[in-house]
Structure formats: structure tokens, C-alpha cells
Amino acid sequence: MKKVLIVDDDPSVTKLLATLLEDEGFIPIPITSGQRALDAVMEDAPDIILLDLMMPLVSGSTICYQLKNDHTTKHIPVIVVSGDGRAERKVREIGADDFLLKPFDLDDVVACVMKWCDQRDSISCDALAYQGDDIFGREQPDSLRAP
């Protein structure tokens, strides 16, 4: 089962998302403080993160930027969930992977989370395969060799 970290300063939103994702077979980890977000990532090693942007003290942008600049966490897909439609443009700047506009359609949330779980699975496989090449020092195919 996939773990989904839900970061939003509004408890009614974290509770809603947690209930929804639990129904859909995920393990939700709701937290309502931006300050705790990075610790939670380290402790719980979530598979995917739903992140609000506008939060007191530590903003979602800061959290995302830090996650994406740390090689141990940068592979975790971050879906920004914001009420500010203009924030959609910021998604790429801060290194996030996707965007959901509040208020959201529950089906869209589920679809988005599933999409990124699937992608993560395939990315992980690619990463493993690539590692294998390195480890075993497999020869390059002839076609790629310089003449």
C-alpha cells in the first residue's frame, strides 16, 4: 500500500483528503504544519506528497524546493494542491510535479495520485535497470560504439 503525505494547514482539508485516500486504499499521513513536513518525509518515507502552498511559517514552496534539492527525497512526486490558480505556473519553478486547484473534484484527486504512483513505479524500475548496467559494467551495444 502506498503512503501519501498530506500537508495542509487547514485540518478540514487534510481530514477530507485522508478519508478519501484511505477509502481508495492508500495510507494517508495527514499533517497540518509546514514545519513538520520535512521531518515527516524522513520518518514516514511517503510514496507521494500532496502539498498546500500557502501555509504560515514554512510555505509549501520552501518545502518543495528543499525536497527537490535533496537527492534522497527528490524522486518523491509532489502534487501541489492550492486555492490560487496563479500558483499553477509556479509548479515547475519550485520543482513540483503536478497541480490540483482547490476546490477539487474528488475523482480528480484520486486519478492524480494514482497516476503519479504508477509513474513512480515505472521510474523506480528504470532507475534499477540503469543501476544494473552500471554495476555489472555491461558492454554498450555495437551500434552505439564510435566507428
Partner 1 sequence: MPGGGPVGHERLAGPIDAAAVQELLDSLSGVTGLSVQMRDSRGFLVPGGKEALALCELTRGSRDGFDPCRRQAVAHCPRVVGETREYKVHRIFHHIAAPIRSREQLAGIFVAGPFLRAPYSEDALGSVAVRLGLPIDQVLGGAREVPLLSDVQIEKARKFLSSLSTFVSAQVTLQETSGNAQADKARLEAVISGMVDGVAVFDRDGRVTAVNRAGQEILGRRRGPTSPYRPGSGLTSPASDAYPVDVLPLARVFNEGVSVVNAETSFRYGDGEIRTCLISAAPIHNSEGTITGAVAVFRDVTILKEVERLKDEIVSVVSHEFRSPLTAISGYTQMLIRQLSKKEGMEKELGEANLVLAQTQRLTTMVSDLLDISCLASGQFVLDKHSVSLPALVNAVADRLRGLSEAHTITVRAPKHLPPVYADADRIEQVLGKLIDNAIKYSPGGGQVLVTVKPNGDEARVSVQDWGIGIERKNVSKVFDRFYRVDNRESREYEGIGLGLHVTRLLVEAHNGHIWASSRKGRGSIFSFSLPLSGRNGETGGNVEKSSHS
Tell me how far apart the alpha carbons of residues 137 and 46 are, in angstroms, rounded to a whole number. Answer: 32
Binding part of the chain for partner 1, among 12-20, 36-44, 59-67, 114-122 by CB under 8 A, reads 12-20
Taking CB under 8 A as the rule, does residue 22 contact partner 1?
Answer: no
Can you tell me which of 90, 95, 119, 120 binds partner 1, judged by CB under 8 A? 90
The gap from C-alpha 145 to its chain's centroid, in whole angstroms, comes to 38
Ordered strands of the 98-101 beta sheet: 27-31, 3-7, 48-51, 78-82, 98-101
Taking CB under 8 A as the rule, does residue 106 contact partner 1?
Answer: yes
Instruction: Summarize as ranges the residues that interact with partner 1 (CB under 8 A).
Output: 10, 12-13, 16-17, 19-20, 54, 83-86, 89-90, 92-93, 102-106
